[in-house]
A = this chain, B = another copy of it.
């Protein structure tokens, strides 16, 4: 054997050995092989999938959705509503683009309707009883048969009682407590009929305030100053612009609470105990009726009495006077005004439509996305603009699921809520029925109600932890025109400087209780957001988009005056869908508890600067609140660092889950069901309604205002009580974020 043979043999052997090594290493699976779930469990979000999703969002498809959704009036439980329940179910069970599961869930809820055969109205009656004026029964028909459609619900104030009170007319501005107080100093209001404009106070609150001063009947109208930037002439309003025509009437639920009014804290099922109607609180105690500004002008511009104050004046084109009664020598001299309300209430079956995409890795964690389905009339904007967006998102994601191309890490639940307009009823009953599992499993709720108020900019409201994921999503989406990221456009319209980020960031608004996020936020303590496109505030001061809750909120109105081309709808669908995907697919939930700290800190500072001296006098120390806020900051900073330092190879799926649970549950720690015992459902210590003007924790702020005004020891005790509740909630939240294995 020569040396080359040896070399050749060695080389040949080496080749064979190498082949063996390669096959052995890569070709034969080990006995103790890595289970296939190891990779699956640590899979993070797929940015390419996000890009694909954004690309596929189709403005034309949204427009087509809206056409179907707004074709027919679909007030809760009417035929139009029932038809949409079926259509959405059909969309969500489609074999090519449907979800994994969809169903309708019925609640038997207490609703209030006008009598079809006996339209509500306002009459002017002369002393001998002659009827010299009757308000319009319906809105003027201005486009095809939109307003004259017999299914259009006649204007009414839902939950206002029947009755026909008459009396001398007075003008009471916005119907705020302070308005009636100042008016009552000049006029004995007992037995009068008051006319007030929308705005400044809640619908029902106006009626409750009026009743408090002895007013017998209430008329509510929309002033062109508030809704139309002063434009009142038909030539300036729809169909010529987005402004409200003179005959337009804002309908609405006149309630102070939300959820089914007969079944607080329980789902309104067939077995559920219902309180007596007479025990319902928070609805108008007197007949109340809304009218348009055409009719309001007839009444207000004939009023006698002193001139109304300057800031009570509106744009009806006359000097507003206070009354009582009409001008001497005018056509209505000595006449009474009569409010004729024929509403009736009944328990009716209202459906939610629920749809679901099962999560792969964490099926027991829910990301929820919802909007109501019911409108007052055609509801093209409110709420169908949101539903059109939701259906476009479900079409794309459903198709991916059916094609086997994608499935989320967490379970996604979609809700098309019923009877929102009557007081967030469908979503609230759902929250009540599934209280435990929603509380234990829901990481976030995304609400897109009206998706486009106007086409200028994104407007986002939410609890602080969702801020980051909205920013991230908005940076990846382009605005319609001019091409700019939604984020960059947003920051031009609404911004603030952030202590945490030490720079200018878009302003995330706070959530009240104006849409279906309310039960999820206030009752369940789930991190929530509400997304929409909205106005350029330099161009309009309209209280809301002018056709809101009127028969002019139609497809034609939307397509011509709100979002021609539906590109703002598209931007919202892309942004909201992106947020949804990031929440459902990210390995670590994109929620940032540190962002709560800015709120807590600013609330603390407001308390300190507004209250500290007086609290010191009362021996109520603020220091423990400061300590709690500092503890929260330390805990959220720590968790942030822990997340930043996570290393895939050393991080078990259970460690990620632990962190995700902390991120999910920190919001829950702010819930205290004993905090506000007279406000049903309001249990969130940070976001409950604040009536005081001090921008601090609502319970503390309200108690403080009351104590300052009464000076009573028991009221100062309540200040201390609410301060305790706040500290306790912040401590609980900090505790949720701190190292879990600690005592």
Contact = CB atoms under 8 A, between A and B. Distances in A.
A121 to B, nearest CB: 37
A741 B103 contact: no
Interface stretch (A136-144, A262-270, A397-405): A262-270
A364 B662 CA distance: 10
Contacts of A275: 717
How often does this chain occur in the complex, in copies? 2
- Looking at A440, A669, A725, A733, the one whose CB has the most chain B CB atoms below 10 A away is A440
A743 interface: yes
Given A25-B25, A364-B740, A653-B41, A436 B735 contact: yes
Interface stretch (A26-34, A149-157, A541-549): A26-34
B621 A103 contact: no
Interface in A639-685: 649, 652-654, 657-658, 661-662, 665, 668-669, 672-674
Given A362-B654, A436-B669, A740-B364, A273 B724 contact: yes
- Looking at A26, A361, A653, the one whose CB has the most chain B CB atoms below 10 A away is A653
Contact of A20 (B18, B413, B653): B18
Nearest to A675: B265
Contact of A358 (B24, B34, B440, B741): B741
Given A33-B34, A364-B741, A740-B441, A654 B724 contact: no
Interface stretch (A9-17, A212-220, A528-536, A588-596): A9-17
A206 to B, nearest CB: 30
A350 interface: no
Contact of A733 (B34, B40, B436, B657): B436
B34 A621 contact: no
A266 B20 CA distance: 69
A316 to B, nearest CB: 47
Interface string A424-440: 00000000111111001
A360 to B, nearest CB: 10
A371 interface: no
Contacts of A20: 16-24
A440 B363 contact: no
Interface in A30-50: 30, 32-35, 37-41
A653 to B, nearest CB: 5
Interface residues of A, number: 90
Contacts of A361: 652, 654
Given A20-B20, A38-B35, A740-B441, A433 B731 contact: yes
A36 to B, nearest CB: 9
A267 B727 CA distance: 11
A720 interface: yes
A546 to B, nearest CB: 37
A434 B669 CA distance: 10
A719 to B, nearest CB: 9
Contacts of A38: 34-35, 38
A732 interface: yes
A95 B211 CA distance: 73
A319 interface: no
- Looking at A13, A18, A271, A273, the one whose CB has the most chain B CB atoms below 10 A away is A271
A219 B648 CA distance: 69
B658 A364 contact: yes
A364 B656 CA distance: 11
Given A361-B654, A653-B41, A654-B657, A721 B665 contact: no
Contacts of A21: 20-21, 23-24, 28
Contact of A271 (B35, B724, B742): B724
A540 interface: no
B674 A743 contact: no
Contact of A652 (B30, B41, B413): B41
Contact of A665 (B23, B436, B654): B436
A440 B736 contact: yes
A236 to B, nearest CB: 47
A443 interface: no
B654 A434 contact: no
A473 interface: no
Nearest to A40: B652
A458 interface: no
B724 A266 contact: yes
Interface string A331-372: 000000000000000000000001110110111100000000
A272 interface: yes
Contacts of A26: 24
Nearest to A674: B265
Contacts of A440: 661, 665, 668, 736
A20 B12 CA distance: 13
A275 B30 CA distance: 67
Contacts of A41: 652-654
Interface in A154-190: none
Interface of A: 12-13, 16-26, 28, 30, 32-35, 37-41, 100-103, 265-267, 269-273, 275, 354-356, 358-359, 361-364, 411, 413, 432-437, 440-441, 621, 624-625, 649, 652-654, 657-658, 661-662, 665, 668-669, 672-674, 717, 720-721, 723-725, 727-728, 731-733, 735-736, 740-743
User: Which 9 A-B pairs give the minimum distances between C-beta atoms?
Assistant: A20-B20, A24-B24, A271-B624, A21-B24, A364-B740, A24-B25, A363-B741, A436-B669, A273-B720
7 contacts: A16-B16, A20-B22, A25-B25, A41-B652, A271-B724, A356-B741, A654-B654
